Amino acid sequence: MKIAVVAANGKAGQLIVEEAVKRGHDVTAIVRSKNKTQAQHLLKKDLFDLTKEDLVGYDVVATAFGAWIAETLPLHSKSIEHFNDLLAGTSTRFLVVGGAGSLYVDKEKKVRLVDTAEFPADYKPLSSAQADELDLLRTKKDLNWTFVSPAAEFIPDGAHTGEYILAGDFFTVNEAGESKISYADYAIAFVDEIESGKYIQERISVLGK
């Protein structure tokens, strides 16, 4: 399978590339600086400078793009509009490294994790921006998107267990009452979805066992 990973130099991006290459896929890292990944190919370009021609021929385009400060948080939604312009109406699937804040905590889907009083205030701006990103994706009817949310506790250097629980739109905990996953196990789940393509125009979430 031919896969492009945008913003591949980040922690999640690097591990997604590593997992995909390990499974024998043909991977291109799309980054703005020196390639830090195991990808076989490199396209050195800013996300917002990508053209339709740059992405022709890929089975999957995945984005691990992240913006972290108030001034740049709107770029999450801007990136979705840009990818929609590039990929809508094509057969290419589009996977997004998402966030946990948009997971629902009620059956009526009116209250998200980010809306709860217990949600850490420092993380609310980023989580709200990622929730807006998902809301925007849901309006894109000609884009083969999948939004992959990690657990509430997303652990950069956590263990590579090779196991995870697949869930959907709702905040979910494991048997120990925990919502956590390592970046390494998240990458496994992410590439599993790249290979299966089971959840087109859906959000899925993953957590550790």
Give the tens place of pLDDT for each residue, 29-68: 999 999 999 999 999 999 999 999 999 999 999 999 999 8
Residues in the chain where the model's pLDDT stays below 70: none
Cβ contacts of 204 within 8 Å, gap of 6 or more: 146, 147, 148, 149, 166, 167, 168, 193
**CA 104: distance to chain centroid?**
17
What pLDDT sits at residue 145? 98
Specify the pTM. Answer: 0.96
* Residue 143 contacts residue 84 (beta carbons within 8 Å): yes
Cβ(68)–Cβ(10) below 8 Å: no
- pLDDT at position 80: 98
Q: What pLDDT is recorded for position 68? A: 87
pLDDT of res. 74: 95
Question: In 61-106, which ranges are continuous DSSP H helix?
Answer: 75-87
pLDDT of residue 208: 97
